[in-house]
Structure formats: structure tokens, C-alpha cells
Structure 1
């Protein structure tokens, strides 16, 4: 299966929502709705306006995974919306790894030295994935003051690219 990773914008909002919401609500039973995530309806402004980006992994026109970043200072970003459809997860395809590596290359090419993220404890496989990729767990109080917090997040990580 051939997978392309490309930047996506507002025109992909419906596909992004169709990917993300079922993973959050049905698969992981996270109490979050579309109204809790207005960024999904305004990708161009929320993600691209200050130098961030949003990528989609597609195959045969179908969205299989996403990853995004919000730039909140000259050299730091918040990693957001990292989701891969259940049937496309795992080491065989390495889709999550490819998405993350794509984002890291973009960061290094654009002078971004620090990646931060917030998530929820129920996403155990995601936590292990971040840790395998060198992310260090941190306390909420140690996040940069400009970090854009999401309401439900209670587990935080950072990765230095220096």
C-alpha cells in the first residue's frame, strides 16, 4: 500500500473530523466533542497562521492518519492531533512513526528545537510510542507559559531536537 504524507488544510476538515472523533469517542471513550475542538473547523488559522502545520497520511484518497503542530514561540511547537486509524497502526506500516518523523524533519528545517505535547492517560500505546521516540515526561507546571493547553490533557511530554 502506497501512503503519501502531505500538508492538509481546511478543505480536509470533514475527513479529519471523521478520523479523529471516532478514535477519541468510540475507541478510547474520551469525553470530548467537536465543540471542544474548534481547531478542527479552522485548521488554516489555528495551525498555519503562526508557522505551524497539519499533515495527513493518505492512501487511495482516504485519510489514514494525522499529525499537527501549533507554533507558540520562535523555537517551540505543541504537537497535536496525532491519530492513526486502528487498522493502520503498528510497526508493519509504521504510519505513526512516519508522521512523527515528517513533523520532526519539518521542525529541524525550520529552526524549531522543542516539541511539547499534552495527552490523556488512557492512551497507553501513544504514551509508549512517545517515550520510545525520546519524549521525556514532564509536569504541567514546567510547561512553557505560552503552551496552548487543551482542557482534558493531564500527561505532558517534551522532546528536545537540539
Structure 2
């Protein structure tokens, strides 16, 4: 994966990105009063090869002027029908409010649909108000069964030919 949005480069994660990606996620969690959980909900960030690459998922990083400013990922899950979960979609504060989050979500959806999946699940916390608004405005429906302790919301989107916006728009 390699694409651009304004002056942001969105590309596949490489092992040299591990520390910077973890730092971004930890920083954003702290900003919202949430804890970084390296042996729990965030262990996937430290073991991307195991949690994403070997399971048929993808982990992307967002770069601006050579510095990582965001992350986005998904992997197949057992919940639902032929489903994936979008995870670790975080942007540093200076990268927000520019449409980048919406673009990333559309890129993820387009990639997931092209790979033949039928459902996308997302868990989040109410305190992440911008994320909640983005998901709700993008056709995600509230669902039941939160599996991550720090999350209190779960959403699902059923993919159809008409539900996915062209990711290049």
C-alpha cells in the first residue's frame, strides 16, 4: 500500500516503524485519558507481524515530511460473517481536522471490500468523540459485544456494492 493525501504518505508498516507507531498510539491514548496497554489491548502494535501480517491483515503508517503522524490497520476476526476489525486508527493532533481520518477510513474500506470481506467491525471509546462521529457519519451501526476493556462502543458496517465510497474520492 502506498498512496498520498495532500502532503501525507500512507504506506505499509515496516519493522523500523515499530517504536514510532507505538509512541503515536500511546500519545493519543494519553491525550484522551486512556491507558497504553502493552500487554493487553495494545500488544498488537508491538507484534504487528503476528497480529496483522501473518493473519491476513494490514498495518499502515501515515508519514508527513519523513515523520510518522498516524496509524491505521485491520485484520480478520471471528465475529460476524467473513469480517475484519479496523484497529489502531490514530492521528497526532496536528494531522487532524484535514479530512485525513475520513480518507484513511475510506482507504481501509476500499481495501477490505476488494479483498472480499463482508463486514467491518470497530471498537472505540466514547471519549474519542471525533472517531465516534466519523464512524457514525460513515454508515457504521451500533452493535453489541465490546471485547476490549477500555472500549465502550462497538460498530459494524455490512459491505455491499453501494456502501463503499470510492477510496480515491
**Same-fold call, TM cutoff 0.5:** yes
Q: Which residue in 2 is equivalent to 1:155?
A: 153
**Hey, what's the Cα distance between the residues in 2 that align with 1:138 and 1:48?**
27
What is the CA–CA distance in structure 2 between the aligned matches of 1:65 and 1:22, rounded to whole Å?
A: 11
Partner of 2:119: 114
- Runs of 5+ consecutive residues of structure 1 not aligned to the other structure: 144-148
Matching of residue 76 in structure 1 with residue 74 in structure 2: no
Of 15, 33, 41, the match for 2:37: 33
TM-score by length of 2: 0.83
Q: Is the 8 A contact 1:65 1:96 kept in 2?
A: no
Match of 2:51 in 1: 46
Pairwise CA RMSD:
1.6
**Cα displacement string for residues 64-87 of structure 1 (whole angstroms, at most 9, x for unaligned residues):** 211111212572101100101111
Partners of 1:3 and 1:153 in 2: CA distance: 28
How many angstroms does 1:156 deviate by?
Answer: 0.5
> Does the CA-based 8 Å contact 2:37-2:43 persist in structure 1?
no
1:158 aligned counterpart, secondary structure: strand
Bigger fraction of residues in helix: 1
Q: 1:116 Cα shift? A: 0.3
**Is the Cα–Cα contact under 8 Å of residues 76 and 116 in structure 1 kept in the other structure?**
yes
User: What does residue 146 of structure 1 align with?
Assistant: none
Dislocated runs of 4+, deviation >2 Å: 31-36
Match in the other structure for 1:16: 21
Tell me, yes or no, if the aligned pair for 1:138 and 1:157 is still in contact at 8 Å: yes
> What is the Cα deviation at residue 127 of structure 1?
0.5
> Matches of 1:43 and 1:32 in 2, distance apart?
16
Alignment TM-score, normalising by the size of structure 1 = 0.87
